[in-house]
Amino acid sequence: MQSDNIYITKPILPKLTDFTDGIEKIFESDQLTNMGKLHNELEKKLQTELDVSNFSLFNNGTTALITALNVLELPPESEVITTPYTFPATIHSIILSGLKPTFCDIEPETMCINADKIENLINDKTSAILGVHVYGFPCDVQKIEKISKKYNLKVIYDGAHCFSSKINGQGIGNYGDITMFSFHATKLFHTIEGGGLAYKDNNLKQKINTFRNFGIESENAVTYLGLNGKMNEISALMGLKNLEIYKFEQNKRMLLKQFYDRNLMIKGIKIPKMPKNTTDSYQYYPIIINDEYPLSRDKIIEKLKSKNIYARKYFYPACNDYDCYKKILEINQDDLPIVNDIKNKVLCLPFYGDLSDNARNLICEVLKDV
């Protein structure tokens, strides 16, 4: 029995019979993990789909990001300039890798790290920049590249929201040293749980693949303090099946976005625009509730909930608000005015291909009726 609740997202799923047929073949193979046939097939197909030089699969995006920060061999306790306007896994990964995050404010339009603010934060302890492509909006990769070359810094991107996105016709994973992708069930393309790393340097491949396997390089050699980041065969199967259908879902979301864009031209509601040189991943549909709107963001959430519509305050709180970071980091809130403003105004609306006409109409009606 389906719920009448309207949630922010819904995972795409292949036909059950297609999936169970694949499960039978996995059982026949007797290999469930450790870089099996389906794992290797998905890895190659994702490299092509994402238009990148190298790609390595992981069991989730967090272990992938931790691996990226470790294989780049950044100096211990060095500083990584990043944005607090992200999911906490981004900041967790930096700290768990023995590094120190330094928070930079964001741009008001894309809500990504403000490249114009980065240079003032660089000091002799800075080793890297970690940008987040928020909601699929891209960081200013050209400015960040210039800064990284000037100061000899590594660049990592958290691309959890930008599967299949391109900048200037190139896969978004081609920018920086390494880009992390998330394949969690909430993402446009998913493997139930999963993630991956895209990178240009062929020399990183052995390091990354060794690190994700406990640091075991051979039967007799452990070369890194690695972790268990391997994707299993059942997740790989889900990925292979979803790779065949995700574009259909993406097209439905494009039409839904067009519907929202037409029907939410309301005073006090801002719809962020994707830069012209970037293709949209259609991962989320964020709006900004400005002061001209009659209700605050939090009050409109409650009004939507009264109609069983579950939108999301994403990202709220921002990472500069979490106690776990305040205890170990020096955070100057005065340096983060845009983050502290946007976090109280952004609202992500339900956004998936199977959202019914009645549901999408109801969402717009609630926002208009105010």
The 10s digit of each residue's pLDDT in 55-94 is 999 999 999 999 999 999 999 999 999 999 999 999 999 9
Arithmetic mean of pLDDT, 7-20: 96
Q: Report d(CA 62, CA 76) in Å as an integer.
A: 19
DSSP calls for 64-107: HHHHHHHHTTPPTT-EEEE-SSS-HHHHHHHHHTT-EEEE--B-
- Is 2's pLDDT higher than 60? no
pTM across the whole model:
0.96
Arithmetic mean of pLDDT, 132-155: 98
pLDDT of residue 248: 98
Cβ-contact 90, 324 below 8 angstroms: no
Cβ-contact 281, 161 below 8 angstroms: yes
3-class SS of residue 349: strand
DSSP structure class, residue 129: E
Q: Report d(CA 176, CA 266) in Å as an integer.
A: 38
Q: Where are the alpha helices (DSSP H) in the chain?
A: 16-29, 37-49, 61-71, 88-96, 115-118, 141-151, 204-211, 233-243, 246-263, 297-305, 323-326, 337-342, 357-369
- Report residue 98 as tokens: 């023995």
Arithmetic mean of pLDDT, 238-259: 98
Q: Report d(CA 105, CA 333) in Å as an integer.
A: 10
Tens of pLDDT, residue by residue over 269-309, are 999 999 989 999 999 999 999 999 999 999 999 999 999 99
For domain 16-105+112-243, the CATH class is alpha beta
Q: How far is CA 292 from CA 57, 268, 302, 370, in A?
A: 45, 4, 18, 12
Q: How far is CA 167 from CA 199, 209, 223, 279, 319, in A?
A: 16, 27, 36, 7, 27
H or E segment to which residue 54 belongs: strand 54-58
Q: Which of the listed CATH numbers 3.90.1300.10, 3.90.1150.10, 3.90.79.10, 3.20.20.70 matches domain 246-369? A: 3.90.1150.10
C-alpha triplet 194, 200, 202: angle, nearest 5°: 95
- Report residue 41 as tokens: 């097939």
3-class SS of residue 167: strand
- Sign of the four-CA dihedral 119, 121, 126, 128: negative
Chain centroid, CA 54 distance in Å: 19
Domain with CATH 3.40.640.10 in the chain: 16-105+112-243
Q: How confident is the model at residue 370 (pLDDT cuts 50, 70, 90)?
A: confident
pLDDT of residue 3: 56
Domain with CATH 3.90.1150.10 in the chain: 246-369
C-alpha triplet 33, 164, 53: angle, nearest 5°: 65
pLDDT of residue 1: 33
Tens of pLDDT, residue by residue over 172-195, are 999 999 999 999 999 999 999 999
Mean of per-residue pLDDT scores for the chain: 96
- Is 225's pLDDT higher than 70? yes
- Is 164's pLDDT higher than 70? yes
Cβ-contact 305, 5 below 8 angstroms: no
Cβ-contact 349, 315 below 8 angstroms: no
* Type of residue found at 288: I
**Partner residues linked to 285 by β-bridges:** 349
Q: Write the burial class of residue 52 (CB in 10 Å: 0-12 exposed, 13-18 middle, 19+ buried).
A: buried
3-class SS of residue 59: coil
**Partner residues linked to 81 by β-bridges:** 102, 129
